[in-house]
Every structure is written in structure tokens, then in C-alpha cells.
């Protein structure tokens, strides 16, 4: 197998189609062609903004790790290409799902995963930059690791919630419970045990640090309870069009989040809502705020992480993004994804979109193409002559679409690193992240 970042054109693994592309165009075999970024139809304004971003583009190494269906995508083809789909170089991922290449700023990256399988997918990250470390998807343990836990009792508690960081979350029904953790043996994680009342409100929490995952082991958790406290939270600048408001407060440890309290429903008056949230402040933790707004069609989610405090006052009026007003449409012939928004709102930094397509016939296809790109008014999927044609939308396909606008403290450069991972929905800061999409898709 070639080393990550090495062109496939020197190996026998290159498909005949790729050899034909290389021979016919001179590209795709490691030639670092300068990105010309031909503008898509009706995209002059977006193309001008893109050209300004990549003017005098430097070159450097870009690394991307690809996961698919919870495991590293070994031997996936990763194309580093221009905005119009012209191939710059092709790389095959190693056993860890890693590919890397020396490219210029503004290059696009597309991973082709499981092309012959039932879960075929394309993942595209637009306009990367030298030094980027990008992730697509997320790893999960397969098979899980089974362990048994003896949980401490707490006066007045009706049950427990267990948080193992990235190894899973559980709501057991007994004080002694056997669980299948989503981590492999040898992994080290924290365990947060939250004692809750009959309404699910936290009463107290206890922390077991640096728990080593071990198959068949039994762990007794000590009753070193830290009592919950009531935290006053105020949100200002709320959109009066929002018909549903909710807020929650979590505690984020270095190993992962513990949602120590359920979401509370808010009522806004003159754009201001105040509530009291019960939470537990754990050692070495960050407070993570989640505000959700919905207007019947669209929904916005705001996350931010900060140091724990006795009260919080957030003015979100200048941060909320435009609201989507209808499901996005996809024009097959032009490969163009369009969406509409209500006027107003802050400018988004990125758009995260996907097109699912199904094709009947002798060789049926169920595929999905997920893309993250700088925010714009539309998104045109590039034509990829070097990628399998059956994995790209074509005439006659049945399609489904989703779009989310995203804003973050670090702008598009910070978002593209993780926008195609579950972390987009579990952001913990520092800083803030806001998404705006359809209510039914959240």
C-alpha cells in the first residue's frame, strides 16, 4: 500500500479509468496544477469571493482522516482537486483512514468511500489550506467492550445517568448494571455518574477519573457526591418569530461531555428569556450552553463553552443566523443546490449540505454526497471525471437534500476541520457555534 500522500499513479492499484484520465489530461498523477477555479454557472459573485480568498495561494501539506460507518475507511480514494473537479493529485488512505498531500490553498478534497458497497458515499471539503488537519466521520468501537458497574446510592434519587465521555451514555435501571461501552479495551476515559430525581433533574454527581476500559471487569463507583446547584441563565436578543425555545447546561470534561441537566422550556418577553438550570460543576470542566430556537419551519442551535459561573447572561441578537424557509432544492442537470432564507440575521461562515440519491435498475444505487463549503447562496457540486460516475447524481435519480448554515468563533477555517463529523452537534467550545437548518432535520 502506498504511503499516505503518495500519488497512486505509480502503483498497480490505479483503476483503468484513472489511468485514462491521467493520460488524457496530464493531471491527477501528482502534477500540482495551479487552481484556476472556473466559476460555476450563475455563481459570479461567489467565484469572485472565492478567488479573493485564494489569491497568491501558498502550498503545504493537508492531512485528512476518513471514517465511514464508524470505522477507519482504509483504501478509500481521496482526490485533491480544483473547484471545477479537475484533479490535482489522488491519494489512497492507509489502514488508519489517513491521506495527505502537498497542495495549494483553495484546493478541494473529496473522499470516495465504499464505491461498490451498499453504503457508498462521497465527502467533500471545499477550500482547504496548507496545514489543515481534517476529519470526516467518527470512529466507534466494534465490537463494544462489556463491563459491570456497582453504582452508589443517593438519598432522594430515582435513578442514574452515566456518562463515559466518548465511550457512551447510559440510563441504567438498577444499581448494578452491565454495559457495552463504545470503546476498545485499554482506552482510558472518565465516568460521571449523575443521580437524578423522578423528573430527570440532577441531584448530585460523582466522578471516576481515568477509568481503564477492560473487558469483563467489575467497577465499584464511590459515593463522592458533588451536589447540584441552580444557575441563573438569561438570553437576550431572541428572535420574536421563534415559537419554541429551549436551553440546557452541560459540564464538559477533557474526556467528553456530561449532560448533567435536561433541557428547560423558555418563554421570551420582548426578546428576553430567563430561567434557572440545575447543574453540577465538575473538576476541570467547562460549562457548555445549548440554546435551541424553532419557528415551525427552521431551527437554530447555539452552543458555547465557557468557564463555570454562578450565572450567565448571553446576548445572542447579533449572532443568530438567517432562518431557512423551505426544504432545499437540487437541480440535477446543473448539480446546483439552492435554499431560501428569511431576510436578516448574521452572516454564516459555512454551509454543510448533503444530497442523497437513489437509482433503480439492474444496478441500483443508494448514495450520499456530503459537502462543507464557505457560506454562499447556493452550492454547485463539482463534476468529478476521476470518481466513479455511478456515485454522482445523474438524470432520473430520486434525490433528497439537507442544508445547514453554520457560524463559529473561528470562521470557516476552524469549521471545515470537523464540520463533517458528529462534533458539529456536540460542540463544547471554547467559543461558540450556531447552526441554522430545517426543524424536521434537527
Structure confidence by residue, pLDDT tens digits, 362-408: 777 788 899 999 999 899 999 999 998 888 888 788 888 999 999 99
109 with 79, same domain: the answer is: yes
Q: Do 253 and 209 meet the contact criterion of CB atoms below 8 Å apart?
A: no
Mean pLDDT, the chain, rounded, equals: 84
Which of 103, 136, 169 terminates a domain? The answer is: 136
The cell numbers describing 408, all together, are 463559529
pLDDT band at 22 (very low <50, low <70, confident <90, very high): very low
Element (H, E) at 23: helix 16-25
Top pLDDT among 143 and 41 is at 143
- For residue 199, count CB atoms less than 10 angstroms from its CB and return exposed for 0-12, middle for 13-18, buried for 19 or more: exposed
Note the residue count of the chain.
442
223 with 238, same domain: the answer is: no
16 with 51, same domain: the answer is: yes
Domain-embedded: residue 101? yes
The cell numbers describing 339, all together, are 435554499
Domain-embedded: residue 320? no
Domain-embedded: residue 384? yes
Q: How far apart are CA 4 and CA 1, in angstroms?
A: 9
Give the domain range for residue 86: 8-136
Whether the per-residue pLDDT at 120 is higher than 90: the answer is: no
pTM for the predicted model, two decimal places: 0.81
- For residue 117, count CB atoms less than 10 angstroms from its CB and return exposed for 0-12, middle for 13-18, buried for 19 or more: exposed
Q: What is the pLDDT of residues 271-291, one digit of tens each?
A: 999 999 988 988 888 899 999
Which of 263, 290, 314 terminates a domain? The answer is: 314
CA contacts within 13 A on the Cβ side of 212: 3
Q: Do 305 and 262 meet the contact criterion of CB atoms below 8 Å apart?
A: no
Nearest in space to 250 (alpha carbons), one of 226, 272, 231, 273: 231
Nearest in space to 324 (alpha carbons), one of 349, 296, 350, 304: 296
371 with 421, same domain: the answer is: yes
Contacts (Cβ under 8 Å, ≥6 apart) of 151: 160, 162, 172, 175, 176, 177, 193, 221
Nearest in space to 162 (alpha carbons), one of 153, 151, 154: 151
pLDDT of residue 48: 52
Domain-embedded: residue 346? yes
309 with 380, same domain: the answer is: no
Domain-embedded: residue 319? no
**What average pLDDT does range 253-266 have in this prediction?**
80
How many domains in the chain? 4
pLDDT of residue 57: 59
295 with 306, same domain: the answer is: yes
Q: Write down the number of H helices and E strands in the chain.
A: 3, 31
pLDDT of residue 19: 36
Amino acid at each position: 500500500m502506498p504511503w499516505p500522500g503518495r500519488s497512486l499513479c505509480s502503483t498497480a492499484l490505479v483503476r483503468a479509468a484513472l489511468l485514462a484520465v491521467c493520460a488524457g489530461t496530464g493531471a491527477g498523477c501528482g502534477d500540482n496544477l495551479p487552481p484556476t477555479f472556473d466559476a460555476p454557472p450563475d455563481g459570479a459573485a461567489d467565484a469572485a469571493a472565492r478567488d479573493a480568498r485564494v489569491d497568491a495561494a501558498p502550498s503545504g501539506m493537508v492531512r485528512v482522516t476518513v471514517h465511514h460507518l464508524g470505522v477507519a475507511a482504509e483504501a478509500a480514494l481521496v482526490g485533491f482537486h480544483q473547484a471545477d473537479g479537475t484533479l490535482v493529485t489522488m491519494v489512497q488512505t492507509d489502514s488508519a483512514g489517513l491521506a495527505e498531500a502537498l497542495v495549494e490553498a483553495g484546493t478541494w478534497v473529496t473522499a470516495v468511500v465504499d464505491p461498490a458497497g451498499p453504503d457508498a458515499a462521497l465527502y467533500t471539503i471545499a477550500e482547504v489550506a496548507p496545514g489543515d488537519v481534517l476529519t470526516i466521520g467518527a470512529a466507534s468501537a466494534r465490537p463494544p467492550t462489556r463491563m459491570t458497574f456497582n453504582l452508589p446510592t443517593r438519598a432522594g434519587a430515582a435513578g442514574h445517568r452515566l456518562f463515559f465521555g466518548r465511550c457512551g451514555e447510559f440510563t441504567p435501571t438498577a444499581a448494578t448494571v452491565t454495559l457495552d461501552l463504545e470503546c476498545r479495551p485499554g482506552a482510558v476515559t472518565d465516568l460521571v455518574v449523575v443521580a437524578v430525581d423522578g423528573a430527570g433533574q440532577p441531584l448530585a454527581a460523582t466522578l471516576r477519573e481515568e477509568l481503564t476500559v477492560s473487558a469483563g471487569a467489575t467497577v465499584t463507583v464511590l459515593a463522592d457526591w458533588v451536589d447540584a446547584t441552580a444557575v441563573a441563565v438569561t438570553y437576550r436578543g431572541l428572535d420574536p418569530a421563534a415559537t419554541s425555545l429551549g436551553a440546557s447546561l452541560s459540564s464538559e470534561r477533557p474526556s467528553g461531555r456530561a449532560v448533567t441537566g435536561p433541557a428547560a422550556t423558555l418563554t421570551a418577553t420582548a426578546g428576553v428569556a430567563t430561567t434557572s438550570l440545575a447543574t453540577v460543576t465538575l473538576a476541570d470542566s467547562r460549562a457548555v450552553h445549548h440554546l435551541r430556537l424553532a419557528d415551525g419551519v427552521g431551527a437554530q442551535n447555539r452552543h458555547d463553552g465557557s468557564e463555570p459561573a454562578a450565572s450567565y447572561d448571553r446576548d445572542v441578537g447579533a449572532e443568530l443566523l438567517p432562518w431557512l424557509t423551505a426544504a432545499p432544492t437540487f437541480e440535477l442537470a446543473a448539480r446546483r443546490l439552492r435554499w431560501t432564507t428569511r431576510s436578516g440575521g448574521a452572516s454564516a461562515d459555512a454551509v454543510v449540505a448533503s444530497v442523497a440519491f437513489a437509482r433503480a435498475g439492474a444496478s441500483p444505487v443508494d448514495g450520499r454526497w456530503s459537502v462543507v463549503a464557505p457560506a454562499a447562496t447556493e452550492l454547485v457540486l463539482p463534476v468529478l471525471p476521476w470518481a466513479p460516475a455511478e456515485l454522482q447524481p445523474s438524470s432520473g435519480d430520486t434525490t433528497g437534500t439537507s442544508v445547514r448554515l453554520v457560524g463559529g468563533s473561528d470562521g470557516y477555517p476552524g469549521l471545515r476541520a470537523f464540520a463533517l463529523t458528529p462534533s458539529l452537534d456536540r460542540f463544547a467550545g471554547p467559543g461558540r457555534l450556531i447552526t441554522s437548518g430545517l426543524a424536521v432535520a434537527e
